[in-house]
Amino acid sequence: MKITIIDGQGGRMGKAVIEQLKKRHPDLPLYAIGTNSIATAAMLKAGADYGATGEHPCIVNARDSDIIIGPIGIVFADALLGEITPAVATAIGSSSAFKILIPVNRCNHYIVGCGEAGLGEYIRLVCEKVDSMLQ
């Protein structure tokens, strides 16, 4: 199973997801795709097995991933302060991968019905969903 974590900015969210998934499943290979080198470095430092940076790696890895995890902005063109290009949003949105999107009510969008849980709670929910899919 190919699990790809996509994040931008400083990679804080992706880093937290990788740390928690590696605690639960140390042998699970994780692919970290950062929209910038800082995000990629943070996710690799957290324990990702593979890493790449930029638009093209986002597009290529969206093609054959089984699960894509990231902030909800990865499916919105121009999100993450412009780090998500229209091509990246399209590639992720049209991927056949199961997407686990972490709600973040910023950058001119608001997810109705989304609670205001902290990042730690959302990461716990992400890991529980991955656990259930691995069984």
Question: What is the structure's pLDDT at 5?
Answer: 98
Predicted TM-score (pTM) of this structure: 0.90
Q: Is 49 helix (H, G, I), strand (E, B) or coil?
A: coil
Identify the DSSP state of 74: G
Q: Is the pLDDT of residue 58 over 90?
A: yes
Contact criterion met (CB below 8 Å) for 34 and 45:
no
Q: What value does the mean pLDDT take over residues 92-117?
A: 80
100 DSSP β-pair partners: 69
Average pLDDT over residues 21-40: 97
Is residue 44 pLDDT above 70, yes or no? yes
Is it the case that residue 109 has pLDDT exceeding 70?
no
> Does pLDDT of 120 surpass 90?
no
